[in-house]
Amino acid sequence: MRRALIVAHLRGSGEGTSLPAPTFILTNARIWTGDRSLPEAEALAARAGRIVAVGARREIERSADSRTEVLDAAGRRVIPGLIDAHVHLIWAYELGHWIDLSDHPPMIEVQRRVREYAHGHPDEEIILGHGFDYAALGVEELPTAQDLDTTVYDRPVLLTSWDGHTGWGNSRFVERAQSVLAKSKRDVGGMQRDAKTRRPTGIFTESFDVTALLPEFTRRRSIEGLERILTAASGYGITTAFDVQVPLDTLEAYEQLRNRNALPLRIRVAIYHPRGTPKQRYPEFMNAVATAHDDWLGVGAVKLYLDGVQETGTAALLEPYANDPASRGTTVYSVGEFDAIVQDLDRRGFQILTHACGDRAVRLALDAYAKASTLNRMLGRRHRIEHCENLSSEDIPRFAQLGVIPCMMPRHSAPELTRRWREAVGPHRTRRAFPWRSLLRSGAALAFASDWPVAELNPWVGIHAAVARTVPSGSPSPLRLTLEEALTAYTQGAAFASHCETTRGSLAVGKYPDLVVLSPDPFEVPVEKLAAVRTVATVVDGRTVFADPENSPPPPSFDSDAAPGIR
């Protein structure tokens, strides 16, 4: 017989305690608390949004009265609420409907989907799609604008790659991009040109900086799209999400949901700081911190880019690319420019999140943080480096020494997703890439995340990638983690990276009753089955925001919920 998930009210009287009865009890559970002083428990109780007791089922249940809401876990595994420390949920608000190319179709299929979508949506000003894989298109080099002109010629079309950076536009989109960039007088977007003719090819290495300037792009915003992806996140057991690239003018979407108590999970925000952002905007950043600063919606960080991605040769490497010996990649800023920005933001009290995939970019970010710390003497900022895919062995100890957090996405290491990545960096750098275990051994505070929609939103896909990691030949990777280590990076580590470890990341007295009920028990299934672990219930603030005892939560629909990701 299927074990039911029961939400009920116990008919006790609170006998045996002089304190008010709890408002919420979780019982009949196998709790992995994440708290070393009490690793396992059967039940917990919460009152006024805080856990007041963790321990034996009999004792916890005795504290209830007729008004206490009780969640019976039916003997299932319970863990602290999962924290996605690097995700792009706001893009579901930005884009609305778009074409799903996440199954990596060949060129002819991409063209067919674009043509059919355009035919079925004649009123859309701009056609958008996400997920194409340049390696799967069947073309020798990157595609061109002309490849899309054969499908749609009367409206702009932009398709973004699964890497979240690379954009592929038709000729009409190239024209719009040239026009808006000329008016803005900003050199952003990485518009590529043919080496001989100097004409735009249709490829943009940082396409998100161009779309942000297009009115037809911003007019697609939909609060319903954001609500749908937040609901999907709850269905995956995510109770806190750090949205790491929120343009200041889109923060209102989160504020609107918070003001009507419609957030099913807690949100922390990093304001996007694209290249060319003037210092005159910093007071607006500070105002956002002041107006959105609570545990449901908090702003306190700024997101910078220092390089791109290895697949397109835009990550900054210490040594030349294996597939392009004449290049080591580029950085978004010069050393002096980046140091000055970091020092200014650090002095103003911001946590800084720097995108750095390549080992040279990581080193420059660490250097900048070290200089800012010496100059400003500000402690506890917990500046972060996002991705850290290639690291020099010399720089690994510096994370712990400087108090810098490596925020990494285990799914990005999967062999089936990294063929082009491996071709770019070569076998030597592939073997030592994504060095989670080396970082842990050095004392670094490792945090895990999804980077949705570059990778799946489901945390168990990432956890499986970390625990079951193999080298390209198929043998176990020496850098793989244990299940408990991976879970810790997705709970306590992510909480520390989000400045919320005093309230989240473990289930202990004084913390929030944010938790997840799972099936099957991840500690009892084979490693290869970890990605199939599903959420039975998600509880935030002692309130069940998701419950599905029989069916796993549906994945976000790329037709309505999703949006191009940013690594």
If you average pLDDT over every residue of the chain, what do you get? 90
Q: Which residues sit opposite 408 in a β-bridge?
A: 448
What mean pLDDT do residues 336-363 have? 97
Decide: 549 and 5 in contact? Cβ < 8 Å.
yes
| Structural domains for the chain | 6-75 (2.30.40.10), 97-218 (3.10.310.70), 223-506 (3.20.20.140)
For residues 325-357, one letter each, b for 16 or more C-beta atoms within 10 angstroms of the residue's C-beta and e for the rest, the string is eeebbbbbbeeeebbbbbbebbebebbbbbbbb
Say what the pLDDT of residue 18 is: 55
Q: Out of 23-37, 311-325, 465-479, pick the least confident.
A: 465-479
pTM of the model: 0.89
- Return the percentage of the chain with pLDDT > 90, whole number: 75
Confidence of residue 15 (pLDDT cuts 50, 70, 90): very low
pLDDT top residue among 161 and 11: 161
Q: Which residues sit opposite 158 in a β-bridge?
A: 128, 169
Q: Max CA-CA distance within the chain?
A: 84
Say what the pLDDT of residue 509 is: 97
- Give pLDDT tens digits for 61-75: 999 998 999 999 999
Alpha carbons 198 and 22: distance in angstroms, whole number: 69
Q: What is the DSSP letter of 504?
A: S
The DSSP bridge pattern shows strands 50-55 and 266-272 to be unpaired
Confidence of residue 416 (pLDDT cuts 50, 70, 90): confident
Which residues are CB-neighbours of 474 under 8 A, at least 6 positions away? none
- Give pLDDT tens digits for 207-230: 888 888 888 888 888 899 899 999
Burial of 294 (0-12, 13-18, 19+ CB in 10 A): exposed
Alpha carbons 87 and 353: distance in angstroms, whole number: 12
Confidence of residue 415 (pLDDT cuts 50, 70, 90): confident
Alpha carbons 152 and 142: distance in angstroms, whole number: 19
| Sheet with 238-246: strands ordered across | 82-87, 238-246, 266-272, 297-305, 351-356, 384-387, 405-408, 447-448
Confidence of residue 88 (pLDDT cuts 50, 70, 90): very high
Say what the pLDDT of residue 117 is: 94
3-class DSSP assignment, residue 183: helix
Say what the pLDDT of residue 563 is: 34
Residue 244 tokens, joined:
């790491």
Residue 351 tokens, joined:
């946590």
- Give pLDDT tens digits for 264-295: 999 999 999 999 999 999 999 999 999 878 89
